[in-house]
Amino acid sequence: MPTTVDVEAFGRAMDRIRDEVLATLGEDDARYIRGVIALQRKLELTGRALLFASWLPPAWAAGTAALATAKILENMEIGHNVMHGQWDWMRDPKIHSAAWEWDNASPSEQWKHSHNFVHHTWTNVLGKDRDIGYSAMRVSPEQPWHPVHLAQPFYNVLLALFFEYGIAVYDVELERLPKGGKDPKEALEQLRAIAGKVRRQVVKDYVAFPLLTGPCLLPTLLGNFTANLVRNVWGHTIIFCGHFPEDAAFFTEEQTEGETRGEWYVRQLLGSCNIDGGPLLHLMSGNLSHQIEHHLFPDLPSNRYAEIAPRVRALCERFGLPYNSGSLARQTGSVWKRIMRLALPGPSRPEERDLPTARLREVG
């Protein structure tokens, strides 16, 4: 395994990749994101138009599929990445992290704090990164077991179906209220913001558009509901496959004390997993199929991750670091295996508890 010097050399190599990409950003990249936004809007318009004839099963199926695809693109490749600031260099006020509000129950400002700042700073650090299990599931043997975890395979299904609402409430950090770690007034303000966002979405998807379709009100309502469910399940699947397969490592706060730039890069690498696939999968996943590259370079435009990935993989081989990647089926199976195993008390196997510590000590 690499020495401390190697870790810093790995970090410098990562910095070079980042600097090279930043130096070459230009019109092709801007054309890409504008093209995706145009495609998403056409798909949404097409889906909603087809639902005007949703009394015909083929029109209902096609309209619902188009609308679900539009919602996935808006959340994954557009909203998530725009709010990361990946396109701020364009200086386009319409495609900027400060102005974008996505089609999701989480208000953008709340999400940017919990995701961009907390999660991406403290990726997979127990006690710091609240995205480890989303305060609901036990995904690491270091997390204390509670009898409620016996049901986590079941409530993970519910979380998948209503993922946007689960994440919105999770961002409020309600679990900190009983111990005085959260100001009740702040929590109430955040809940009001969520309620306002949800109200606007409900009016749009379940009142205004269904009413516009007149006699097709009920099938349109069902189509919108189905599209939202599909978007939620897909988002949940992609995000969990990037963070919780069995190969993903978790760390303690002590391990990050005095963390160098190179060690930060190594932690991002060890705590992330990629999904193998083609251009369509990468697009529909918001390029979070390149979760490793996203955690290494969260502010680089997502369309560059496919270009960067072979270089990152080659550097991992050179420095003796793992590059965890697998098919969607494999990663999904690995996630569910971990969730089901850790629903039971105790570490699943003795060596798993020591693996993250051993890795970090060996590489750092």
Q: Per-residue pLDDT tens, the chain, 364 aa: give them.
A: 456 679 999 999 999 999 999 999 999 999 999 999 999 999 999 999 999 999 999 999 999 999 999 999 999 999 999 999 999 999 999 999 999 999 999 999 999 999 999 999 999 999 899 889 888 899 998 889 999 999 999 999 999 999 999 999 988 888 888 888 888 999 999 999 999 999 999 999 999 999 999 999 999 999 999 999 999 999 999 999 999 999 999 999 998 999 999 999 999 999 999 999 999 999 999 999 999 999 999 999 999 999 999 999 999 999 999 999 999 999 999 999 999 999 999 874 433 433 333 344 444 4
The letter for the amino acid at 68 is A
Give the Cα separation of 80 and 288 in Å (integer): 10
Q: Which of 70, 119, 30, 91 is nearest to 223 (CA)?
A: 70
Give the Cα separation of 110 and 123 in Å (integer): 18
Domain count, the chain: 1
Give the Cα separation of 283 and 81 in Å (integer): 12
- State the pLDDT at residue 3: 64
Would you say the C-alpha torsion 74, 231, 278, 62 has a positive or negative sign? negative
Alpha helices in the chain (DSSP H): 4-24, 27-50, 57-73, 80-83, 108-111, 120-121, 152-161, 163-170, 184-203, 209-212, 217-243, 261-270, 279-284, 291-296, 305-319, 328-341, 350-363
- State the pLDDT at residue 362: 45
Q: Which of 173, 136, 169, 166 is nearest to 151 (CA)?
A: 136
Q: Are residues 85 and 263 in contact, defined by beta-carbon separation less than 8 angstroms?
A: no
Alpha helices in 214-290 (DSSP H): 217-243, 261-270, 279-284
Residue 125 phi, psi dihedral angles, 5° rounding: -100, 115
Instruction: Please count the CA atoms within 13 angstroms of the CA of 12 that sit on its side-chain side.
Output: 6
Where in the sequence is the domain holding 346, given as residue range(s)? 4-363
For 91, the token pair is 């200086």
Exposure string over 181-194, b if 16+ CB within 10 A, otherwise e: ebeeeeeeebeebb
Residue 187 phi, psi dihedral angles, 5° rounding: -60, -40
